[in-house]
């Protein structure tokens, strides 16, 4: 076989091999997509995922099924996705825990957050607020801090789970205010909120996505918010910086991951549909109701945000001494 014939044969073989993928590119998605949520149903992460899944289902033309896989500080859900086939049919909601915290909290993880995932796109972020049960004796932040300092070890706080943004927010708060408040982890935001409202646990850091309605209704008292500026939804609530705890911005952020090795066209399609979903009235209303700031952008921007937050929180977590294994 001469060189010209060989090259022609190779070209034909390459075209034959590429044809199935070319067809797959044009067909994606052609089956149901599983969206893993590493928290129980009912919390803010779950509600947001379901709202986005419905918006994206319409434009993708395929069913998106939410698969709640809580546990192990989101590591259970993250490991499922990291080990999934990289075909675009298994994705997940990932927050600070997967993206920035756990690599500093665990000596060994079943995944590497910077290498074992395909970053699809950021969803949004929302601040966390320090809240107490309405019957708690502290009426404002100053009196809460005084109470905590006068009663070291006697005050408990709830969180949706070990390693959650809510957990780390309070640990940073304790470190910077010299207080000793005992952590009571729950399996998700909903049961943690229920016990704070019921008075079983007096306080917690609560994200606006899960708790804005109970904050506005008075079912919990909001003492301070961990944003750079006051929230338009809670204009009378001071920031942590305003009440004397500087450099304490605490926010939860979320995005969508898939397993490492997702084909570029699949990533771009999912990213495009995610960004498109932010313009739908239903998603815009949900985000507004939750005090959530949408973060449309590229996969590269999402990856850069996650790595920057990991670098910011690494020294904070080390200073608190929190380890989860």
In terms of residue numbers, what domain contains 21? 9-125+253-320
Q: What is the pLDDT of residue 190?
A: 87
pLDDT of 11 above 50: no
Going by C-beta distance under 8 Å and a sequence separation of 6 or more, which residues neighbour residue 289? 212, 213
* Residue carrying structure tokens 């997509």: 33
Q: What is the pLDDT of residue 266?
A: 98
Q: Which residue has the higher pLDDT, 40 or 237?
A: 237
Q: What is the pLDDT of residue 19?
A: 38
- Assess if residue 236 is contained within a domain: no
Q: What is the pLDDT of residue 270?
A: 98
Within 10 angstroms of residue 68's Cβ, the number of other Cβ atoms is 18
- Assess if residue 238 is contained within a domain: no
* Mean pLDDT of all residues belonging to the chain: 90
- Assess if residue 1 is contained within a domain: no
Residue-wise pLDDT for 60-110, tens only, equals: 999 999 999 998 889 999 999 999 999 999 999 999 999 999 999 999 999
- Assess if residue 63 is contained within a domain: yes
Going by C-beta distance under 8 Å and a sequence separation of 6 or more, which residues neighbour residue 129? 205, 206, 207, 208, 211, 215, 222, 223, 224, 225, 226, 234, 237
Are residues 51 and 190 located together in one domain of the fold?
no
Residue-wise pLDDT for 130-183, tens only, equals: 999 999 999 999 999 999 999 999 999 999 888 888 999 999 999 999 999 999
Are residues 90 and 19 located together in one domain of the fold?
yes
Are residues 27 and 108 located together in one domain of the fold?
yes
Q: What is the pLDDT of residue 283?
A: 96
Question: How far, in Å, are 118, 122, 179, 245, 255 from residue 264 at the CA level?
Answer: 9, 17, 48, 43, 17
Q: What is the pLDDT of residue 102?
A: 95
Are residues 66 and 89 located together in one domain of the fold?
yes
Tell me the C-alpha distance between 239 and 248, whole Å: 9
Q: What is the pLDDT of residue 187?
A: 84
- Assess if residue 111 is contained within a domain: yes
pLDDT of 14 above 60: no
Last residue of a domain, one of 206, 225, 244: 225
Are residues 131 and 117 located together in one domain of the fold?
no
CA 252 to chain CA mean position, Å: 6
Q: What is the pLDDT of residue 73?
A: 86
Contact (CB, 8 A) for 141 and 182: no
Are residues 18 and 96 located together in one domain of the fold?
yes
Q: What is the CATH number of the domain that holds 170?
A: 3.40.190.10
- Assess if residue 202 is contained within a domain: yes
Are residues 119 and 258 located together in one domain of the fold?
yes
Q: C-alpha angle with apex 157: 153 to 159, nearest 5 degrees?
A: 140
Q: What is the pLDDT of residue 200?
A: 97
Q: Which residue has the higher pLDDT, 80 or 21?
A: 80
Q: What is the pLDDT of residue 40?
A: 85
Q: What is the pLDDT of residue 179?
A: 96
How many domains, the chain? 2
Are residues 220 and 271 located together in one domain of the fold?
no
- Residue 205: pLDDT band by 50, 70, 90 thresholds? very high
Q: What is the percentage of the chain residues whose pLDDT exceeds 70?
A: 92
- Assess if residue 237 is contained within a domain: no
Q: What is the pLDDT of residue 51?
A: 96
> Of 11-25, 149-163, 253-267, which gets the smallest average pLDDT?
11-25
Are residues 220 and 73 located together in one domain of the fold?
no
Are residues 118 and 260 located together in one domain of the fold?
yes
Are residues 92 and 159 located together in one domain of the fold?
no
- Assess if residue 257 is contained within a domain: yes
Are residues 257 and 119 located together in one domain of the fold?
yes
Q: What is the pLDDT of residue 320?
A: 87
Q: What is the CATH number of the domain that holds 287?
A: 3.40.190.150
């Amino acid at each position: 076989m001469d060189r010209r014939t060989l090259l022609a044969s190779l070209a034909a073989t390459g075209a034959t091999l590429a044809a199935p993928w070319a067809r797959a590119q044009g067909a994606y998605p052609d089956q149901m997509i599983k969206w893993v949520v590493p928290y129980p149903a009912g919390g803010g992460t779950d509600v947001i995922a379901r709202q986005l899944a419905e918006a994206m289902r319409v434009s993708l033309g395929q069913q998106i099924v939410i698969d709640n896989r809580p546990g192990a500080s989101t590591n259970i859900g993250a490991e499922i996705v990291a080990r999934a086939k990289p075909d675009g049919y298994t994705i997940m909601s990932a927050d600070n825990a997967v993206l920035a915290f756990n690599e500093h909290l665990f000596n060994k993880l079943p995944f590497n957050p910077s290498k074992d995932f395909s970053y699809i796109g950021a969803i949004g972020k929302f601040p966390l607020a320090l809240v107490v049960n309405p019957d708690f004796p502290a009426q404002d932040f100053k009196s809460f801090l005084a109470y905590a300092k006068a009663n070291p070890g006697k005050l408990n706080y709830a969180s949706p789970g070990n390693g959650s943004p809510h957990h780390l927010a309070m640990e940073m708060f304790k470190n910077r205010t010299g207080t000793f408040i005992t952590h009571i982890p729950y399996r998700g935001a909903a049961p943690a909120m229920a016990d704070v409202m019921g008075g079983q646990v007096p306080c917690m850091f609560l994200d606006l996505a899960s708790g804005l309605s109970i904050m506005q209704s008075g079912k919990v008292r909001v003492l301070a918010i961990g944003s750079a500026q006051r929230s338009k939804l809670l204009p009378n609530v001071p920031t942590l910086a305003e009440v004397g705890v500087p450099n304490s911005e605490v926010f939860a952020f979320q995005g969508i991951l898939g397993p490492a090795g997702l084909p570029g066209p699949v990533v771009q399609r999912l990213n495009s549909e995610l960004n498109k979903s932010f313009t739908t009235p239903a998603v815009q209303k949900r985000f507004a109701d939750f005090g959530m700031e949408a973060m449309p952008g590229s996969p590269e921007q999402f990856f850069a945000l996650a790595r920057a937050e990991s670098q910011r929180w690494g020294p904070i977590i080390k200073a608190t001494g929190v380890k989860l294994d």
